Amino acid sequence: MKIQRCKGMRDMSPQAMAVFRRMVGTCRDTFVKWGYREVRTPTIEYMHLFTSAGTLTPGMLGKVYSFLDWDGWSGERVVLRPDGTIPVARLYAENMQGLARLFYTMNMFTFESGEGNRERWQCGAELIGAGSAVADAELMALSMEIVKKLGLRGVELRLSHAGLIKALLSRLKLTDEEQHRMFDSILDGDTTLLAKASRKSPELADLLLPLLSRKGQTADFLRKQRALLCRSIPEIRAPLDDFLNTVAVLDNLGMKYQINIASGAGFEYYTGMIFQLFTGKEKIGGGGRYDALIDAMGGGDVPASGLAIYLDRLMDRIKKGNVMSPAAQRILVKASSGISVGVAFKVADALRQGGCIAEIDLDGREADWTLEVKSTGTMTLFNRAKKQKTAVGSVDAVLKLVGGKSGG
Amino acid sequence: MAVKIALPKGRLLRKTAALLQKANWRLDEYHSSMGFYRPKSARFPDLLIRVFHEKDIPIQIAMGNYDLGICGLDWVEELLVKYPSSDVVKVKDLIYGKGSLYAAASMPQDLRQNGTPLRIASEYPNLAEAFALKQRMSRFSVFPVWGAAEAYPPENADMVLLSAGSAADIAGYGIKPFDRVLDFSTFLIANRPRWESKKLDKIAASIFDVLSEAAKSTAEKKDALSSPLPPRIKAKGVKTDTVRLVLPDGHQQQQTVELLNKAGIKIEDYPSSTGNRRPRIGIDGVAVKVIRPQDMPLQVANGNFDLAVTGRDWLADHLAQFPSSPVKEILDLKLRRVRLVAVVSRELPIDDPGDLLRFSAGRGEPFRLASEYVNIADKYARENHLGHYRVIPTWGATEAFLPDDADLLIENTETGRTIARHNLKIIETLFESTACLIGSAGSVTDAKKSRIIESIVSRLQKAVGTN
Contact with chain A for residue B266, Cβ under 8 A = no
The confidence score (pLDDT) of residue B228 equals: 52
Q: Which of B89, B92, B2, B64 is nearest to B38 (CA)?
A: B2
For residue B363, the chain A residue with the least C-alpha distance is: A1
> Is B137–A51 a contact, with Cβ atoms under 8 angstroms apart?
yes
Q: Which of A386, A396, A390, A385 is nearest to A371 (CA)?
A: A390
ipTM associated with this complex:
0.79
Contact with chain B for residue A355, Cβ under 8 A = no
Q: Any idea which of A182-196, A345-359, B248-262, B299-313 has the lowest mean pLDDT? A: A182-196
> Is A76–B134 a contact, with Cβ atoms under 8 angstroms apart?
no
CA atoms of B403 and B370, how far apart (whole Å): 11
> Is B322–A72 a contact, with Cβ atoms under 8 angstroms apart?
yes
Contact with chain A for residue B302, Cβ under 8 A = yes
Task: Report whether pLDDT(B215) > 60.
Answer: no
Task: Report whether pLDDT(B237) > 80.
Answer: no
Secondary structure of residue B248 in the 3-state scheme: strand
The confidence score (pLDDT) of residue B233 equals: 40
For residue A2, the chain B residue with the least C-alpha distance is: B364
Q: Which of A124, A155, A142 is nearest to A308 (CA)?
A: A124
- For each of the domains in chain B, give its residue range(s) and CATH number, in order of start: 4-97+185-215 (3.40.190.10), 99-183 (3.40.190.10), 238-467 (3.40.190.10)
The confidence score (pLDDT) of residue B234 equals: 42
Q: Any idea which of A324-333, B254-263, B359-368 has the lowest mean pLDDT? A: A324-333
Looking at the complex, report in whole angstroms how far the Cα of residue B377 sits from the nearest Cα belonging to chain A. Answer: 16
Q: Which of B263, B290, B262, B268 is nearest to B281 (CA)?
A: B268
Architecture of the domain made up of A14-322: 2-Layer Sandwich (3.30)
Residue B115 banded pLDDT, cuts 50, 70, 90: low
Cis amide bond preceding B403, omega within 30:
yes
Residue A68 with chain B: CB contacts under 8 Å: 321-322
Q: Are A195 and A209 a contacting pair, CB within 8 Å? A: yes
- B200: exposed, middle or buried (C-beta count within 10 Å: 0-12, 13-18, 19+)? buried
Q: How many other CB atoms are there within 10 angstroms of residue A69's CB atom?
A: 14
Looking at the complex, report in whole angstroms how far the Cα of residue A122 sits from the nearest Cα belonging to chain B. Answer: 26
Contacting A residues, span 56-115, partner chain B, CB-CB under 8 Å? 58, 61-62, 68, 70-77, 113-114
Residue A77 with chain B: CB contacts under 8 Å: 141-142
Task: Report whether pLDDT(A254) > 80.
Answer: yes
The pLDDT mean for chain A works out to 86
> Is B136–A51 a contact, with Cβ atoms under 8 angstroms apart?
yes
Please give the average per-residue pLDDT across B434-446, as a whole number: 87
Q: Where are the domains of chain A?
A: 14-322, 330-403
List, for residues A158-170, the tens digit of each pLDDT value.
998 888 888 877 7
Q: Are A331 and A390 a contacting pair, CB within 8 Å? A: no
For the entire predicted model, the pTM comes to 0.83
Name beta bridge partners: A306: A126, A288
Residue A217 banded pLDDT, cuts 50, 70, 90: low
| Residue A165 CB contacts under 8 Å (≥ 6 apart), including other chains | A183, A186, A187, A212, A261, A262
Q: Are B164 and B104 a contacting pair, CB within 8 Å? A: no
Task: Report whether pLDDT(B231) > 60.
Answer: no
Measured torsion, CA atoms of residues A76, A79, A82, A85, in degrees rounded to the nearest 10: 70
CA atoms of A56 and A256, how far apart (whole Å): 30
> Is B140–A1 a contact, with Cβ atoms under 8 angstroms apart?
no
What fold is seen in the domain A330-403? Rossmann fold (3.40.50)
Contact with chain B for residue A181, Cβ under 8 A = no
Contact with chain A for residue B382, Cβ under 8 A = no
Residue B157 banded pLDDT, cuts 50, 70, 90: very high
Q: Are B437 and B307 a contacting pair, CB within 8 Å? A: yes
Radius of gyration of chain B (CA): 24
Task: Report whether pLDDT(B216) > 60.
Answer: no
DSSP A20-41: HHHHHHHHHHHHHHTT-EE---
The confidence score (pLDDT) of residue A164 equals: 84
Radius of gyration of chain A (CA): 28
Q: Any idea which of A206-220, B97-111, B221-235 has the lowest mean pLDDT? A: B221-235
Q: How many other CB atoms are there within 10 angstroms of residue B48's CB atom?
A: 17
Please give the average per-residue pLDDT across A355-369, as a whole number: 91
Q: Are A384 and A368 a contacting pair, CB within 8 Å? A: yes
Direct distance between the N- and C-terminal alpha carbons of chain B, in angstroms, rounded to an integer: 56
Residue B134 banded pLDDT, cuts 50, 70, 90: confident
For residue A50, the chain B residue with the least C-alpha distance is: B138
Looking at the complex, report in whole angstroms how far the Cα of residue B213 sits from the nearest Cα belonging to chain A. Answer: 35
Percent of chain A with pLDDT over 90: 53
> Is A73–B318 a contact, with Cβ atoms under 8 angstroms apart?
yes
Select the residue of A1, A70, A75 nearest B324 (Cβ to Cβ): A70
How many residues are given for chain B? 467
